[in-house]
Amino acid sequence: MARYFDVHPTDPQPRSIAQVAALLREDDLVVYPTDSCYALGCQLGSRTGPDRIRRLRHLDARHDFTLVCADFAQLGHFVRIDNAAFRAIRAATPGAYTFILKATPEVPRRLAHPKKKTVGVRIPANPVALAIVRALGEPLLSSTLLLPDQDEPPTDGWTIKEELDHQVDAVVDAGDCGTEPTTVVDFSSGYPEVVRVGAGDPAPFEG
């Protein structure tokens, strides 16, 4: 049965956040809110989390996960960013964007794109997500909570808890955080390419 945490959306209770971080360190799979929609998250070195997410979402082995970071210093530890990309990404974060960049050796090989050696990273504008990542002390390995039989991600934390009670280990409920996933911008070729339009305004990365 999944643990349930009802947290304040802008001022999350430190005790609850610390408990969620402790569960993540125990290799648990957690549902948590972001600035675009609810997501599935586990620790970066999780032995079971990636496969559990794939099974839950009916994804194949080629699915790209996202590293959810607390700040630019953490993000820069896992991806290579040139000056032009740095300025553009810095201006848009925190925000509802995922950026695809070349991975550094700090990213486990199994998590990077097998050919391009890239990984998706983001810094969400959501106090609860940021609090969890800061308490954990490392990025969250994450994927949008979009179930195979649904057109949109769920928005109600208690409903998520009831539906996934035996498939996840914890649900962090901070109220409705929307259904639109992030805008994805690929910088891996040296210039920005918008590959998915979502919650983030794509205009700064077009043209």
Question: What backbone phi and psi angles, to 5 degrees, belong to 101?
Answer: -140, 165
What local confidence, expressed as pLDDT, does residue 53 receive? 94
Structure tokens at 76: 């820069």
Rounded distance between C-alpha atoms, residue 119 and residue 98, angstroms: 10
Structure tokens at 171: 């649900």
What local confidence, expressed as pLDDT, does residue 119 receive? 92
Listed in sequence order, the residues at least 6 apart from 164 whose beta carbon sits closer than 8 Å to its beta carbon are 2, 31, 56, 171
Give strand pairing partners of 183.
97
Per the structure, the complete domain to which residue 130 belongs is given by: 3-205
- CATH number for the domain spanning 160: value is 3.90.870.10
User: For residue 69, which of 13, 28, 125 has the smallest C-alpha distance?
Assistant: 125
pLDDT tens, residue by residue, 125-177: 999 999 999 999 999 999 999 989 888 999 999 999 999 999 999 999 999 99
Number of domains the chain is built from: 1
List % helix, strand, coil for the chain (3-state, nearest 5): 30, 25, 50
E strand residue ranges, 72-196 = 97-102, 118-122, 140-144, 170-173, 183-186, 193-196
User: How many other C-beta atoms are found inside a 10 Å radius of the C-beta of residue 79?
Assistant: 25
Amino acid, res. 192: P
Q: What is the mean pLDDT of residues 21-39?
A: 97
Q: What is the mean pLDDT of residues 55-65?
A: 84
Structure tokens at 102: 């070349």
3-state secondary structure of 131: helix
- The structure's pTM equals 0.94
Listed in sequence order, the residues at least 6 apart from 134 whose beta carbon sits closer than 8 Å to its beta carbon are 70
Q: What is the mean pLDDT of residues 18-32?
A: 98
User: For residue 20, which of 176, 136, 121 has the smallest C-alpha distance?
Assistant: 136
| Average predicted confidence (pLDDT) for the chain | 93
